Structure formats: C-alpha cells, structure tokens
Amino acid sequence: MVIVMDHNATEEQIQTVMQRLEAAGYRAHLSRGVERTIIGAIGDETQLGDAGIEMLPGVANVIPIMHPYKLASRIMREEGTVITIGDVEIGGETVQVMAGPCAVESKEQLFEVAEKIRASGARILRGGAYKPRTSPYSFQGLAEKGLQLLAEAREKYGLLIVTEVMDPRTLPLVAEYADIIQIGTRNMQNFYLLREVGRYQKPVLLKRGLSATIEEWLMAAEYILSEGNPNVILCERGIRTFETYTRNTLDLSAVPVIKHFSHLPVIVDPSHGIGKFRFVPPMAVAAVAAGADGVMLEVHPNPVEALCDGAQSLTPKKFAKTMRQMAGVARAIGRKM
Amino acid sequence: MVIVMDHNATEEQIQTVMQRLEAAGYRAHLSRGVERTIIGAIGDETQLGDAGIEMLPGVANVIPIMHPYKLASRIMREEGTVITIGDVEIGGETVQVMAGPCAVESKEQLFEVAEKIRASGARILRGGAYKPRTSPYSFQGLAEKGLQLLAEAREKYGLLIVTEVMDPRTLPLVAEYADIIQIGTRNMQNFYLLREVGRYQKPVLLKRGLSATIEEWLMAAEYILSEGNPNVILCERGIRTFETYTRNTLDLSAVPVIKHFSHLPVIVDPSHGIGKFRFVPPMAVAAVAAGADGVMLEVHPNPVEALCDGAQSLTPKKFAKTMRQMAGVARAIGRKM
Amino acid sequence: MVIVMDHNATEEQIQTVMQRLEAAGYRAHLSRGVERTIIGAIGDETQLGDAGIEMLPGVANVIPIMHPYKLASRIMREEGTVITIGDVEIGGETVQVMAGPCAVESKEQLFEVAEKIRASGARILRGGAYKPRTSPYSFQGLAEKGLQLLAEAREKYGLLIVTEVMDPRTLPLVAEYADIIQIGTRNMQNFYLLREVGRYQKPVLLKRGLSATIEEWLMAAEYILSEGNPNVILCERGIRTFETYTRNTLDLSAVPVIKHFSHLPVIVDPSHGIGKFRFVPPMAVAAVAAGADGVMLEVHPNPVEALCDGAQSLTPKKFAKTMRQMAGVARAIGRKM
Amino acid sequence: MVIVMDHNATEEQIQTVMQRLEAAGYRAHLSRGVERTIIGAIGDETQLGDAGIEMLPGVANVIPIMHPYKLASRIMREEGTVITIGDVEIGGETVQVMAGPCAVESKEQLFEVAEKIRASGARILRGGAYKPRTSPYSFQGLAEKGLQLLAEAREKYGLLIVTEVMDPRTLPLVAEYADIIQIGTRNMQNFYLLREVGRYQKPVLLKRGLSATIEEWLMAAEYILSEGNPNVILCERGIRTFETYTRNTLDLSAVPVIKHFSHLPVIVDPSHGIGKFRFVPPMAVAAVAAGADGVMLEVHPNPVEALCDGAQSLTPKKFAKTMRQMAGVARAIGRKM
C-alpha cells in the first residue's frame, strides 16, 4: 500500500508511520516530493492488514495497491479453470446454456421445459426449489419436493441441474440433489453460507451481488476457494443503477474484466439482468459475443401463468430461436455451442 | 395497479386483460384516451399478485400503485411504534445512542469503551461477536466468547447490548445474550434469517442493505413483522453510490421518508455510512437534526490498534464531544438526549 | 397519469382533485377500492402538465403513465429512421464504424489513423477539435485547426467526419466542417445547445449523459427533433455506477430498449464506456451482437503518446482485428459490415 | 502516482517505465516486493500528466495519489474563504439562506415571495429567469423580463439575488443583474461556461452535477478559479442513486468532506435534493447541523399553481417555520442565522 502524508506532516509523524509499518512486517520506502511525502509499504497486504496507519497523525490517505484476492486471481492459474461435470465442461471451448423456470412449480411445468430446452441443445436445467422473494406474501418455492422433481427431470431428459441454496441448514439436502449449487445475488456476502459450500467439492454458481463490485465478488469466491472447493463459476446478473426502463443494468463488461483478473469461468444471466422478456434475447447473444462461458436463461411454458418472474421468462419457442442466434455468434468468435 | 395498453392494442386484447384481471379478483376500470387506453385494477395487489398481465399481447406497461408493505406501513399504526427495553425507549421523545467497538476484541477493550460511553450518557453498547468481513483472511470475531464479554459489560455498566447475528444456527445463542439482535446490511434480504428473528419477541435492529431501496427495506421489516415480532428498529447506514471520497453515501433523507411511510423507529449509523472518523461527528449531529430516533456510533479506545474498522471509529474523547453536540441539537428540535 | 389518494382522504378532497383535473383538460375516472381510491387522468400529459395535483390535500402519490417523448417515440415512425449521408446509411442493414483519435493532435497523427481505419473498412472518422476535459490543466484541443485537419483527412481518404461541439458560439464553425455533429455526454442536457443543433439539418450524434436515464436521453433527442432536425443518432457510452474496475459501466441493454421505444438509430462507444483498451474489443463485438447500428472506437497510432485518453485507445492493428470480429458477428445476426 | 507492475514483468519493462517517468519530469522510486514491483513517481501530476505509462508493457495498474485540484484545495488557504457581498457574508459564522421560487413567473408571485422570505430573515432571493427543463414542452422561463423583476425585488425588499445562467451568450446580461451567478447541475461540466464566469469577479454558485464525484466538482471549481475569479460557492443538491422514493439522494456528507479538502464555502439545496416538499424541512435543518454555510430553499406563494417544481416548494408559512428550526440548530452548533 502507499501512504500519502499531509503536506505539513512533521518529520516525527513520518518516522512514526515508518516504524509502525516495519513493526507490522512491511518494508517501507520513503519518497519525499516537492508537495508531498509518500511512503510505499511493500508486503502482503492480505496478511499484514492496514496496521491502523490511516488514523496516525499526519497521514492524508492510505491507498491499497494489491488486489485482495489470491486464490481467485489469474496469477494463481494462468490457463483458466475448466470445470467438468460428466461430459459437460464449463470454462472450456463450448458455451454452456443453463435454462429453466424461475421456480419449480409442478411436474408438468418442469418436465415440459426440460424436454424443450434439451431439444434446443441446452445441457443444464435451472429451477428454484427455495426462492428468495422480496415479499413474504409471494410464492416461496416447493422446497424438497422441488428438488425431487429436478432430480426426476435430470434422469428423464439427461440434463444436469443447478438450483439455489439459501440457508446453511438446507445445504446438505440441496447438495444431495444438485449438480451445481447456486448462491443467489442476495447471499453473495452471506459468509457463513459461502464457507459451508466451500467444504463441498460440488461446483458452485456464485451470482454477483446486486451492488457488488467485481473485487467484492472475487472476494466472495475467495471465501469458497479458501475452504478447499476450487469449483466456482461466477455469474453476472445485473447490477443496480438509476435506470428504470430495465430491472437492473446487465454489466457485460464484467466478462472480459473477470477473464483478465481471474481464472474462474464466468457466465451471464440476462433474464434477471434485464427483467423484461423482450430484451433478453439480444442480451443473451451479446453475452456470448463478450466472451461468456455460458448463459443462464429463464424459460417457462406459459409465462403468463408463472408463479415467479414471468415477465422475464422466454417461451420455449423464443428460447429455441435465441439458442440458434447464440450458436451463430459463438461460431463467429471461434467457440462452440 | 394500472395497465397501459399499446397505442394499437386491439379490442380483443383489451377484453382479455379485463377478463384476466377480474378472474384474479380485481375490479377493472377501463379508460379510453385519445392516445392510449388504460385499465385500473382495484384490489389487494399484495395478495392478488400481478396475474401475469405484463406478458399479455397488447400490454405496454404495468404500473403498481400500492406500496407492497402492510404491517410496516404507518396506515397500520398512525401514532408510531415505541419499543421499550427496561427503562430505555426507542422511538419516543429521547434520542438513543448505541455506541461501542466494531468488534469485541478483549475484556479490557470492551470494558474501557463501555465505561466511557456510559459516562458520556449512552445507554446501549454495540459490539460484534460474529463479524461479516469482505475478506476471509480478516478477523472474524470472538464468537460466543464475545457474547459473554458483552453480557459482563452489561452487568457491570448498566447498559443494554446490541450485537449481530449472521447465521440462523447461532441465532438461539445470540438471542440468549442480546437485548437487541442486529441484522447486518449484507443480510437484509437473508429471508430465512429474517423469518427466524421474527419468531422471537426480542427487538431487531434491521440495517438497510447497501443497495436496498427504502421499499425493499420495509419489505424486509415486513418479513419479521409477519412472523409475529413487532419490535423492529430500522437503521440507515449508507448506500452505495459512485462517490469515492466516502465509504458509502449516508442517506439521511431516509429518516423523514421512513417516518412518513412507516410507524417503525429509525436510527442512523454514520460510522459505516461515511467510513472516515473525521466526518462522523457532523453527520451524527445531522442525523439527530433530521429526526432520527437514535444514532449508532463506533467507539474504540485506540482506533489505531482496532482489529476492525478502526478508520471509522471515534476515540472516547471525540465521542463525548459528539454526544454534547447531538444533545444540543436534540434540544433545539424539541427532543431529549 | 394516475392519482392515488390517501387511505383517509375525504370526499371533498377527492372532488377537489377531480375538478382540478377536469379544469386542466383531463378526463378523470374515479375508482374506489377497499383500501384506496385512485383517479385516472386521461389526456396529453406532455401538454397538460401535472396541474399541481401532487400538492393537493389528500393526495398520496401521482404516477405518470405516458412516456414524455413524442417525436422520438417509435409510435411516430414504426419502420425506424435511416440517416443517409452520401453513400453511408446509419440505421440500416449495415453496421457502421466510427473510428479515430480522442483528440486531433497533428496532421501526421490524424492522417495515419485515417488511412488505417479506412483500410480496415470504417467509413467515418472521429476526432475532437474541442475537448471537454475534467481538468483545466489538460490539453483542450486544436480548435479550428483541428477542424481543418479533419476536413483534409476527409478529402484524402474518402471518409465522413464526426466531431464534437461544446459551445453554441462555435456551432456555425463546427457545422461547416462536420458531416455529423457530436453532442458529448456532458452536454446532453445543455438545452440551448440542443435547440441550436436542432435548427440545422446535419445529423447529430447525441451521446447519453453519464447518469441520464434512457427517458431523459430520449427527451434530449426530443429537444433537437422539436426544432425541426430529424437526423438524430443516439450513442450509448457508459453510465456511472459504483464499479471501479472499469471507467464506466457500458449499458448495452440500452440498445434493444431504445430500438423498442424509439425509431432513432443507436450506436455504442465502448472506448469511453470501459476506459481500458484491453476490454474494448470484446465489448465492441458484444455491441454489434446486441443490435447496435454502429460502433464508435478510439484508435491512435501510438496510444502511449496520446494527449488524451490513450489508455482506452486501440492501435490500428488491434482495431483491424476488432473489425474482423465485429464483421463476423454482424453476419451471424443477419447484418452487414 | 504509483505504478504497479505485472507480477511477471521483465527487468527491461521495469526500466522502460522508469526511464519514461524520468523523461516526463518525475523522480521514480523503485520498490521490489515479494509479489510485485511498484514504482513511485514523485512530481506534479497535474502538470506532468500520466505520461502514457498505463499502456506500457508489463504495467498492471497506475494509481494517482494526489488530488488533481490545486486552487480549490484547502492547502492553498487554510483559513477558509469568506465571500462578502454588501453586508452579507457567505462562509463565515452566519448560515445564509437563499430562498425563492423555482422560476420567476410574475411580479405578483415574485414580490409576494420576496416580502415573505425577507420577513422570515433570509437575505438572498433565488429565482430562475432561464430554466433548464427536461422537456422542451415545459415552461422555459421569462428570460430578461425575469431578470428585471428580480432586480426590482432586490431594490424593494433589500435582498441580494442569485439566478442561473445556462448559455455563454446570455452571461453578460445575467451578470449585469445578478449578485450571485448560478451554474446549474446540468452545466457543472460545461467547461466553456465555467471559463466565462471565471472571467468575472461576481460570486458564482456552482451546483454539484447530478452524478459528479466531489473531486470532479472541485475540478469544475478549479476551472473558474484558474481564470481568476476566487468567489466560488459550492452547492450540494442531491446525487443520482437507485432510490426512487426521493427525487435524488441528498449527500450531506459532502459538506464536511468539502470543508476538509477545500477552503470554499459550501451550501445545500434540499428542495432539489429531495424533490418532495414534506421532506424538505428536516433536511434543511440537518444541512445546518452538518455544517453547511448556507441553505437554498424553494418557496412559492401557491405551490399548486407553480409553473415549475411545485411539488418541492414550501409555502411561505412552512418556510418561516423551517427558518426558526434552522436558527435553533445553528445556535446549538455555535453558529448564527
């Protein structure tokens, strides 16, 4: 980190900072400028901390210069992580599609979607059994019954399943059923839940928090990785801004940024990011163009009757069309689908 | 809600919307304008839902017009809620101060702070035993040991204690020790945790999520209230914006807005909202002026050595001075402290 | 608009609102619900205004339901606007590329870029002669000399030129040289400047304000259109959010949203949107995939020596590669480049 | 500034950066750490620029460490600037109030407000003659006629007047009439206009841009100061966030932050910051508590009939009450009103 001293800092204040840094384990380099004195502190900030420097007299500002994540950093693994589940690879050459309803509502609903998305080429079925809802009066999911239906659909249609866990107490159950465990946007900084999924080896789909910086998102991944689970898939799903014509603002630039700073695979969920079905297909296609390793899409046989998020769900027919467009763009940029 | 039809919607499309609304339990009123036809749907939106109207052909937009919260609404309780714990009232005439360290670090640290804040007039001691930290490598709190120290400080100095719960599995333990259970900003939409604290009668301090709208925050309160716990205290603690000179942007206007729409008490935490100790005192004073029912402040005997959030902590001396300023402003606007 | 009355509004208050609406030229429809009474006001809100209803006693909320733009709305022109300049069409089947340096620095610099981008297939040269700079100490542009160089490059390389106007006093000069007049992000709501460019027939490239909603952006276009200039091209260039790893957050979803609500062409400027050259190419490609009618890119022969925004500029070589990728994606979605 | 090199940067890359920094006029200090090499560049960043370092091979990140403003910095003037106009001081012990209608509508309207605010103790009359309106169809102001009415009100009621300039072409006229020239939020980065007002000696009220960081706002002040006009008053008026219950989010923490980093006076406009009259009084009082040098308030004799921003205007009666509360709080914190 770099410490900028006040323009009128005394020599004694400067020495106090130097001594404190060195006592904390840093090597301190002093640079006296015409206007300001700055001190460079060389050492592992993630281990040594900030040493309380910011509160010392004469200190104007403390600027961290290293990224706080280590295991999630591309430096750890230049070639990029590929997560393999059966014959499905996430983070490899093929762009993977995860599709399905917001919530599992019934066997009929789920199986119809499962059949259709499989026919369109998707390999992973999404569906919520436990639903985080803004209102306590909204449908909260079928719980274990929903997990069972997902497992049945997996068998019948040859799909993998991804479903959300919201509570450490139900994690063992969810982990028993799911191929990929989803951590939702509202739980991105539920650190106890992160640690718990870190103790499994099952792949974890970690959605970006609604107002999380990319750095905080990678730090949330770091929680999982630091417990021993290397199988983390990041999922951009829109951030909160002042714009009101869309539900959120889908930050597609997170894709190349993540690819640069981290080795982890990253996918995009335009359904939640946009929130209006008519704008989802072009953004799904754009996500592939931006370099995403996968796309997650909400598909419902009859969005008008959906118990959850119908307004952002595609019909199976629109989904099939979107699949064809995504595949065309994947080929154009040298990937498969 | 109001349904705006496309400018070229057909008569059949209009009728379909009308019928669907009425089937869902709404009364539907049709208004044909020169440019647009709009349909007013009268009924309890929180119960009847959106009926999937947005996906129907010919529908341009669906606009909710009722607030989605009921129990948290001022309509339910015009006079405002006052929460009484022993001889301390929150939401009454007196502005309450909650003060203490970010994290409980040791008996010495905690007792020194407790003594000093009591001497300055505060009645409630804050201190974290379980700490949500962005980095897995940061100090995570003393856990039950921290709770025990808080309880000892309560006995010795005649204070109430407020401390955070992060996990439903430790809630019984936290509830055993705490006078007020804190739900932190990162858990504002941890709906399982909200439901669990809703099953206790202990007062709950519900911090606003970092990017939560006031409406979502009141809906989080609604989760707790709907489980039977009426003792919810709201706490504004800064929202995330583009500004970088402060850690967050303290939204003091949330105070009069909450007072208008809800009967619940609302307090302000400027320490987290600003993140830099030198800016905390004027914002604490401004919070009182804006009408807050209380102020939460981080105080540490030696911020330079703090294991957590030292940069935003006041020394006991600065805290004492801030107390005097807050008290002066409280009197000026007709309240006590 | 819809007026929601307080739950305890009196009959007299309701009648006052009704009368005031009708006096203002609205037709008012009353709907009495169990919990609330709402009044639908049918009429042209853009002409009739809000009639001061919000301040009347008993009024809880006033909700506008119509978009405030008329001339910019797709309702006015279902088929979409195509702007033709010579043999270049913007808004048609072909995705157009505008490329060039942030600022015109010298003849050598400009001509080298002009030659290279023409060779790579771009038809429009961008370059600033008047530069809006955050700091008064930064390079402010070559002014008229820069315009002259742009005109020379146009002749020599057969390109169109787009350049920014910042001041109504220099507009006549800029309009004399430019094929497309750019209104920059900081001037999106410089209403006098908007009116002035509305009095020309030259195409106007209107960049989205850094924190402008899509609705405000369309209202800025409305200013130009309402003065008689129908040739407005919208340009998404990133909005301001809390994220710090990128300069701004490029809102690609604005592309399909604009296409839905407006008939105007829309292009994307990923250079300013991202601010870091290494992330620009994938976002340029994603912009094409999202349906943009064009892409604007900063290209500099030697970004290290650039007087302005070097960090976001592509070299001619990287630009050529990006052109090939964009062209591939354009074909994949059925467009040309 | 500090340059962080890639973890695998070569010795040659490091030397190239060092040489380039020194050629640009910086002194460069090299610090080799276990994980990273960092280079501190000591020199005047505002003059020397970034030297294109960010694009050099092997460079991971460039971090500026100095504030880019000089004349606006408190370092230039530790004691704080007090602007004196007649017998009114802004930035001194007394908290000044600027009040009046959003727009000058008529002599009757303006004179009624002027009389009432004078009677309540305000010394400065605000009123718009040129109005920046989001819609071209809204009332745009009375132009010079409005300026004349303001001047008449000044004579009659012994007030100073503050009014907005939007266009450099009308600046001579506005400057002739106004005691304080206002630069509105939409023109905070209209750099030509900033330079023009910098050539006058009249005090300038510089409103914060809707999404301007405090640093950008101080840089806008720097434009004015660098042209020779030292009389700049900063005005916080709300920033754009995701919250929708208020028109903007009033960032009161900007007050102590500005006071710390700059010597310029800072006032607060809660009317635009909140946008709803009922929430304006507590925020006006909070602004005084936060340390603002003044408060700007919209007052209209009959808000229901206002041609502009009625919903955020106070009646003269509510204004008088707010004045008394502000005065009480000013006294409580040791200031006058």
Q: What is the CATH number of the domain that holds C48?
A: 3.30.70.1140
How many residues are present in chain B?
A: 337
Instruction: Kindly indicate the confidence band of residue D106, based on its pLDDT and cuts at 50, 70 and 90.
Output: very high
- Nearest chain C residue to D211 by CA distance is C211
Q: In CATH, what number is assigned to the domain containing residue D80?
A: 3.20.20.70
Are C151 and C36 part of one and the same domain?
no
Are A240 and A95 part of one and the same domain?
yes
* Alpha-carbon distance C242 to nearest alpha carbon in chain B (angstroms): 4
Instruction: Kindly indicate the confidence band of residue C298, based on its pLDDT and cuts at 50, 70 and 90.
Output: very high
Does C31 reach chain B within 8 Å, measured CB to CB?
yes
Task: Compute and round to an integer the Cα radius of gyration of chain D.
Answer: 23
- Structural domain contains residue A214: yes
Are D183 and D282 part of one and the same domain?
yes
Does A68 reach chain B within 8 Å, measured CB to CB?
yes
Dist CA C39 CA C11 (whole Å)? 13
The CB density around residue A79, as the number of other CB atoms within 10 Å, is 7
Q: Which member of A50, A219, A310 has the closest CB to residue B55?
A: A310
Answer yes or no: do C44 and B31 touch at CB < 8 A: no
Are B171 and B288 part of one and the same domain?
yes
Write down the pLDDT at residue A133. 87
- Structural domain contains residue D337: no
Q: Tell me whether residue B267 is exposed, middle or buried, using C-beta atoms within 10 angstroms of its C-beta: 0 to 12, 13 to 18, 19 or more.
A: buried
Within 8 A of C138 by CB-CB distance, chain D residues are 49
Q: Determine what percent of chain A is predicted with pLDDT higher than 70.
A: 100
3-state secondary structure (DSSP) of residue A92: coil
Does A335 reach chain D within 8 Å, measured CB to CB?
no
Within 8 A of B239 by CB-CB distance, chain D residues are 241-243, 249
Q: Which member of A214, A245, A291 has the closest CB to residue C282?
A: A291
The CB density around residue C229, as the number of other CB atoms within 10 Å, is 21
Last residue of a domain, one of D11, D43, D63: D63
Are A41 and A80 part of one and the same domain?
no
pLDDT in tens, C64-106: 888 889 999 998 899 999 999 999 999 999 999 999 999 999 9
* Alpha-carbon distance B143 to nearest alpha carbon in chain D (angstroms): 33
Answer yes or no: do C52 and D304 touch at CB < 8 A: yes
Instruction: Kindly indicate the confidence band of residue D116, based on its pLDDT and cuts at 50, 70 and 90.
Output: very high
Is the pLDDT reported for residue B306 higher than 90?
A: no
Q: Which member of A47, A190, A216 has the closest CB to residue B134?
A: A216
Does C302 reach chain B within 8 Å, measured CB to CB?
no
Write down the pLDDT at residue A55. 85
Nearest CA among A215, A212, A203, A236 for reference residue A88: A203
The CB density around residue C214, as the number of other CB atoms within 10 Å, is 22
Does B291 reach chain C within 8 Å, measured CB to CB?
no
Q: Which residues of B58-80 are buried (b: 16+ CB within 10 A; e: fewer)?
A: bbbebeebbbbbbbbbbbeeeee
Is the pLDDT reported for residue A75 higher than 80?
A: yes
Answer yes or no: do A38 and D42 touch at CB < 8 A: yes
Nearest CA among D234, D230, D182 for reference residue D208: D234
Interval D249-272 mean pLDDT: 97
Residue with tokens 């006078």: B179
ipTM: 0.94
Last residue of a domain, one of C63, C83, C108: C63
pLDDT in tens, A248-261: 999 999 999 999 99
Q: Which member of B56, B303, B305 has the closest CB to residue A304?
A: B56
Are C46 and C96 part of one and the same domain?
no
- Structural domain contains residue C84: yes
Is the pLDDT reported for residue D50 higher than 80?
A: no
Within 8 A of D260 by CB-CB distance, chain B residues are 278-279
Are A232 and A284 part of one and the same domain?
yes
Does D215 reach chain B within 8 Å, measured CB to CB?
yes
Are A96 and A233 part of one and the same domain?
yes
Within 8 A of B77 by CB-CB distance, chain C residues are none
Write down the pLDDT at residue A199. 97
- Nearest chain A residue to C239 by CA distance is A241
- Structural domain contains residue A328: yes
Three-class DSSP labels, chain B: CEEEECCCCCHHHHHHHHHHHHHHCCEEEEEECCCCEEEEEECCHHHHCCCCHHHCCCEEEEECCCCCCCCCEHHHCCCCCCEEECCEEECCCECEEEEECCECCCHHHHHHHHHHHHHCCCCEEECECCCCCCCCCCCCCCCHHHHHHHHHHHHHHCCEEEEEECCHHHHHHHHHHCCEEEECHHHCCCHHHHHHHHCCCCCEEEECCCCCCHHHHHHHHHHHHHCCCCCEEEEECCECCCCCCCCCECCCCHHHHHHHHECCCEEECHHHHHCCHHHHHHHHHHHHHCCCCEEEEEECCCHHHCCCCHHHCECHHHHHHHHHHHHHHHHHCCCEC
Q: Which member of A33, A43, A75 has the closest CB to residue D33?
A: A43
Q: Which member of C44, C63, C242 has the closest CB to residue B241?
A: C242
Cα A212 to its chain centre, rounded Å, is 10
Within 8 A of B213 by CB-CB distance, chain D residues are 242-245
Last residue of a domain, one of B42, B63, B84: B63
Q: Which member of D286, D325, D331 has the closest CB to residue B286?
A: D286
- Structural domain contains residue C337: no
Instruction: Kindly indicate the confidence band of residue B253, based on its pLDDT and cuts at 50, 70 and 90.
Output: very high
Answer yes or no: do B191 and A68 touch at CB < 8 A: no
* Average pLDDT of chain D, as a whole number: 94
Does B324 reach chain C within 8 Å, measured CB to CB?
no
- Structural domain contains residue C217: yes
* Alpha-carbon distance B330 to nearest alpha carbon in chain A (angstroms): 29
Are C162 and C53 part of one and the same domain?
no
Residue B201 CB contacts under 8 Å (≥ 6 apart), including other chains: B228, B229, B231
pLDDT in tens, D219-255: 999 999 999 999 999 999 999 999 999 999 999 999 9
Are B181 and B51 part of one and the same domain?
no
∠ at Cα D322 (D317, D326), nearest 5°? 155
Is the pLDDT reported for residue B116 higher than 80?
A: yes
**Domain enclosing residue D193, as ranges:** 74-332
Q: Which member of D52, D187, D219 has the closest CB to residue C135?
A: D219
Within 8 A of D318 by CB-CB distance, chain B residues are none
Is the pLDDT reported for residue C3 higher than 80?
A: yes
* Alpha-carbon distance A211 to nearest alpha carbon in chain C (angstroms): 8
Instruction: Kindly indicate the confidence band of residue D135, based on its pLDDT and cuts at 50, 70 and 90.
Output: confident
Chains with ≥3 CB–CB distances under 8 Å to B = A, C, D
Is the pLDDT reported for residue B113 higher than 90?
A: yes
* Alpha-carbon distance B29 to nearest alpha carbon in chain C (angstroms): 7
Q: Which member of D133, D134, D210 has the closest CB to residue C211?
A: D210
- Structural domain contains residue C309: yes
pTM above 0.90, yes or no: yes
* Alpha-carbon distance D174 to nearest alpha carbon in chain B (angstroms): 32
Is the pLDDT reported for residue A180 higher than 90?
A: yes
Nearest CA among D268, D221, D228, D219 for reference residue D248: D268
pLDDT in tens, C126-180: 999 999 888 888 888 999 999 999 999 999 999 999 999 999 999 999 999 999 9
Is the pLDDT reported for residue B47 higher than 80?
A: no
3-state secondary structure (DSSP) of residue A28: strand
Per the structure, the count of domains in chain B is 2
Q: Which member of D27, D31, D241 has the closest CB to residue A42?
A: D31
* Alpha-carbon distance B27 to nearest alpha carbon in chain D (angstroms): 27
Answer yes or no: do C31 and B44 touch at CB < 8 A: no
Chains with ≥3 CB–CB distances under 8 Å to D = A, B, C
Does B169 reach chain A within 8 Å, measured CB to CB?
yes
CA dist list (Å): B227 to A134, B203, D330: 15, 13, 44
Write down the pLDDT at residue C138. 85
CA torsion sign for B269, B275, B278, B282 is negative
Within 8 A of D306 by CB-CB distance, chain C residues are 52
Note which residues in 217-276 of chain D have CB less than 8 A from chain A. 240-242, 244
* Alpha-carbon distance D184 to nearest alpha carbon in chain A (angstroms): 20
Chains with ≥3 CB–CB distances under 8 Å to A = B, C, D
* Alpha-carbon distance A247 to nearest alpha carbon in chain D (angstroms): 11
What are the backbone angles phi and psi of residue B317, rounded to the nearest 5°? -70, -45
pLDDT in tens, B71-91: 999 988 999 999 999 999 999
- Structural domain contains residue D68: no
Instruction: Choose, out of D3, D5, D31, D215, the residue to mutate when testing the contact with A (most A CBs < 10 Å).
Output: D31
Are A218 and A138 part of one and the same domain?
yes
Are A102 and A232 part of one and the same domain?
yes
